[in-house]
Structure 1
């Protein structure tokens, strides 16, 4: 029975995730689609339970009058059938309804509903552009994802469950009191009006505070994650005290929202206690006065006073439920600001997978600008750039920092869309093929190749998940990683390929991380290979050992290499010299030296193979 209800909602829908609406109602409906029938069923169940509970109070009043008016010897004869009917409702129907509501609530919705939201939102975020993740703390995004999933569930369930129950219960209670005597309904009407005004004044404020609190909580979490992720930098610069001050600022910002929330909570508690006392006193006093004057029967008093006491007990629960509702609405609004953002880079509607070919790359009249600071015009990073790289050609990119080398690579990978021009691979426009197939055809080893906090095997097989053990072993040998991997171990006793490498690979040295990254790309075996400072983390001895392996890796591939250490790319088929988003020189190493241009100056100034600042502040090669 439990498993049947647990299977009513698919927590992992396979349909492609779309951008959620940025309006509150639209956002809630977007993420409630798969759960909506069960939310409606939950609301219907709560409404029926409320009607039955109110009816039981009415039956109680009738029973009191019947006990007072009917002789004992004929009581069961006169009222036995009705009593049996009410007993069945109380003993059978009400428990069954409560069981159904409980199953829908706990088995169907509580776990599956937020899990479905997390799954859909996570899949959408995974397809966001690189720029999206560069603008936010990773911890802040993760916090908002988790908070928003729970908040959407709570808002939807409170509206359908608590909202329906409270609305029907109060309407039923008011109708029942009025059915005894219209004057008995007056205290309930006045109380409801005052209660509504209090909700209207206080609860929205709680919602606004909750939204500010959710934002402050996300910021606080983001700062904690940022400090821990960069703990080596914190310790290297002896800035523990500075991190404490930075963290305390966000902690205090969060604490101030808690103070505001608690002040409003205390205020609502005080006002509500006054209203509740006034309701019970007025109903009891009015009921006794009407009974004393013979205007109502004792059963009416037996109905009205318990109803007032029941509302008295419910009032605090209702207030906290509404406060929690608006608090969760505030959290949802905060989540919308991160989760309901359009993707900057989208697959074309008719995008087809890239057909793998020999790997010819063309940049035709490409112009690109990064987004500038608001109000400022961004400068062009690439300006009308044209470049043809033949299939199988090995090309090195050279230039000062900011010349546009990395931007060129990012545009080929379509991390950003160009403003004008065209980029093609084997004649196929990269903007017209799917992003996944495009990047699957390009292997990249970057200067800072971070690893996943998983096993060495998982990190290497990330290049080709279906790879056989022999393929993984060959990739390890090619990257000169087979010497240290067997000796790796982690705190859980896992060794070798099963050892976990820590967040971003922190348990490995820079050289070890780089070699695992190279093995991963070797296993991927893509026709186009990008080396962005691929050996920068290796010492000279290891670099010399692996350089021959990289030569093997590059065989038969189109290669684009970036290196500040010019000696590592001097042997490329062609060197492309860039400056301020333009190609200013190109040719072989020997040809460029004879031109006596920028490359010749960079080469002449090299000492140790790194770029240094010139007198005018520009970066050139030197020691």
Structure 2
């Protein structure tokens, strides 16, 4: 995970990217009063923190100056006209008064610090929740072409890490940046107020150290990323080797894998040692520079104390304020890096939010009488290419018609376009030319969610969600009664095994239904389709990977499901569709032949050849165990 994060390219800070980032501040607008209050608390927290060195210096002066000025002369009368800064310079409090002021200052600072953290966290979390909702909603409404071009891991990362990076920027980075600005301004004002000469000396050193730290730190981070990338490469080799251990041993390539692994390991060693050299030089330089600068400033300050132009308390104040200023300079480097990451995250999120999604309904679908389908479907000279493969035509002027309640079986070689027909029926993609008509109407005459709500799809690889069996059966119809769910399960031949579980319909199926067998998952998917009560049904071969007993139960459930509905059955095993009303043979994107099983077997066409090849294969596979037994005898 860390390696993937480090491989992200560095985002350059430009005016356009900053403008894009500020667009996301619209999510802060509903909480703007709390946000403004948090900003005020940040300023007051920085100001009250800056009073601590002042009071500390006055405490030291209370013990050393005893009410006189640095030169030993009486302090000027407070009635004398002078600036507020001069009055503050000559104010002297007793030790007890100064201690009391320090605790008052700490108490007020504590309140403001708590409020800024609490308010910014509340604003950040609530605005992030709104942003997550919009991003997730937009992702769900995106067309299938979007999901074919994006990886699931990438989309998940955007919802989790990218949004969390933005939330950190609102809740933490922004607060630290503003607090650093306030601290820097206040600190600079105070050190120039205490002693301008010392301030100029300090400022001539601190920026140099800070710049060296920034550039040196960037170089060291680059080496650290290289180490992590090399470690990721070595981990990939380990995973590849263990996943393919049978191939490794079969080809006696253990020595080669060890050599390959050691090359990456020693590369990590070399880079780490190089990194250690530069890091050691950097740390040594920083120690020498920081402590050397402090020693020089102290030396100059002590000389000013000796000639009476500075007090010990004032020097203490100056040193602490200098540490504030130097620490703030150093912290800006990390904040700049965080800003780069945040801009990269906002760019990704804005890309999603700007995307054009489908006009799907974001509420339970209700079907008006004029939108209710009877089940008639017609493909009229449909041509199609996948957007990711525009040079490969998948369907070529395909024409096909299904009457209400008719069972259509789609057969043909792999890559013929059968699954594409199903995707077009579900309106996952739009034809390149031609049209698909539902009850003689174009899809644009129906709201897309209303149209899809009247179609059901049972795939070969069933996907269940990680909730209960009841939730999976009622998916798409969550308001269904327990009786309706149970009736759907009975029609799908699923009630028997569900009732055998201790928790019955509340049994948790596990991630992707892993706790259930293949046949059980198929029957739950069929129950889900039965409960939906669709007008048009699309079935990918649901029995091809099941054992004989499960196949029989699933086949019976499918027959119950197809009764009275227009059904499109994508068939891989031709023995399962011999009773179809019409078999449509598709090859190279066109309808090659169609008819009943008997009609197609009476001709010397592709269907007959496919049927004969499959029959011969079944005979061979069924006879193999007996042959093997005879060989053993």
- TM-score w.r.t. structure 1 length? 0.76
Deviations 1:526-561 (A, max 9, x none): 111011102323444444454344333222211111
Question: Are the counterparts in 2 of residues 446 and 534 from structure 1 also a CA contact under 8 Å?
Answer: yes
Say if 1:140 and 1:222, in contact at 8 Å, map to a contact too.
no
Q: Secondary structure at the match of 1:278?
A: helix
What value does the CA root-mean-square deviation take over the aligned residues? 4.8
The equivalent position to 1:98 in structure 2, one of 102, 108, 113, is 113
Distance 1:218 1:365, change over 3 A: farther
Q: 2: CA distance between counterparts of 1:536 and 1:61?
A: 84
Structure 1 residue 407 displacement after superposition: 0.7
Q: Distance in 2 between matches of 1:603 and 1:216?
A: 53
Identify the structure with bigger relative contact order (alpha carbons < 8 Å, sequence gap 6+): 2
**Is residue 571 of structure 1 aligned with residue 579 of structure 2?**
yes
Q: Hey, what does 2:195 align to over in structure 1?
A: 181
Structure 1 residue 409: Cα displacement: 0.7
User: Relative to 1, partners in 2 of residues 1:546 and 1:69: Cα closer, same or farther, differing over 3 Å?
Assistant: closer
Separation in 1 of the partners of 2:447 and 2:208?
59
Q: Which residue does the alignment assign to 1:281?
A: 295
Q: CA separation in 1, counterparts of 2:15 and 2:204?
A: 38
In structure 2, the partner of 1:50 is 46
Indicate if the aligned counterparts of 1:460 and 1:519 stay in contact, CA closer than 8 A.
Answer: yes
Number of the residue aligned with 2:450: 437
The 5 Å alignment of 1:460-479 reads 460-479=473-492
Aligned match of 2:28? 35
- The change in CA–CA distance for 1:609 and 1:423 in structure 2 (over 3 A counts) is farther
Q: Distance in 1 between matches of 2:536 and 2:270?
A: 52
CA radius of gyration, larger in: 2
Query: Mind listing any 5+ residue stretches in structure 1 that lack a counterpart?
Result: 1-20, 489-493, 613-623
How far the C-alpha of 1:504 sits from its partner, in A, is 1.9
Q: Which residue of 2 aligns with 1:388?
A: 401
Aligned to 1:357: 373
Aligned-partner Cα distance in 2 for 1:204–1:105: 29
Give the TM-score normalised by structure 2.
Answer: 0.75
Partner of 2:10: none
Shift in alpha-carbon separation, 1:343–1:171, aligned structure 2, 3 A: closer
Query: Quick one: structure 1 residues 586 and 549, their matched pair in 2 at CA, closer, same or farther if it must change by over 3 Å?
Result: same
Question: Which runs of 5 or more residues in structure 2 are unaligned?
Answer: 1-13, 70-74, 79-90, 621-633
Matched, 1:532 2:548: no
The 1:564/1:299 distance shift into structure 2, 3 A limit, reads closer
2:319 is aligned to 305
> For each residue in 1:34-85, what CA deviation from the matched residue of structure 2 results, as whole angstroms up to 9, or x when unmatched?
336355543432222222222443454456556625289x99x986799799
Q: Where does residue 159 of structure 2 map in the other structure? A: 145
Q: CA deviation at 1:444?
A: 0.9
Which residue of 58, 67, 70 corresponds with 1:70? 67
SS of the residue 2:408 aligns to: strand
Matches within 5 A, 1:282-431: 282-310=296-324, 314=327, 319=330, 322-323=333-334, 326=337, 329-330=340-341, 333=344, 340-341=351-352, 346-347=357-358, 355-372=371-388, 378-430=391-443
1:393–1:218: structure 2 CA closer, same or farther, 3 Å change rule? farther
SS of the residue corresponding to residue 391 of structure 2 reads coil
Cα displacement string for residues 129-163 of structure 1 (whole angstroms, at most 9, x for unaligned residues): 44555556544543453222322222333442111
Give distance in 2, aligned partners of 1:22 and 1:580.
51
1:169 aligned onto 2:197: no
Instruction: Render the CA deviation track for 1:247-278: whole Å, top value 9, x for unaligned.
Output: 989x9899899959988866654443333213
Mapped to 2, the partners of 1:263 and 1:127 lie a distance apart of 52
**Contact in 2 for aligned 1:204/1:326 (Cα 8 Å):** no
Q: 1:126 to 1:400 in 2, by over 3 A?
A: same
Question: Cα gap change, 1:601/1:500 in structure 2, threshold over 3 Å: closer, same or farther?
Answer: same
Whole-Å Cα distance in 2 between the matches of residues 175 and 138 of structure 1?
A: 52
- How many residue pairs get aligned? The number is 571
Question: Contact conserved, 2:583 with 2:595, CA < 8 A, in 1?
Answer: yes
Contact 1:368-1:419 at 8 Å conserved across structures = yes
Equivalent residue in structure 2 for 1:456, among 462, 469, 476: 469
Q: State which drifts further: 203-212 or 521-530.
A: 203-212
Alignment CA distance shift 1:503-1:113 (3 Å): same
* Preserved CA contact (<8 Å) 1:397 1:561: yes
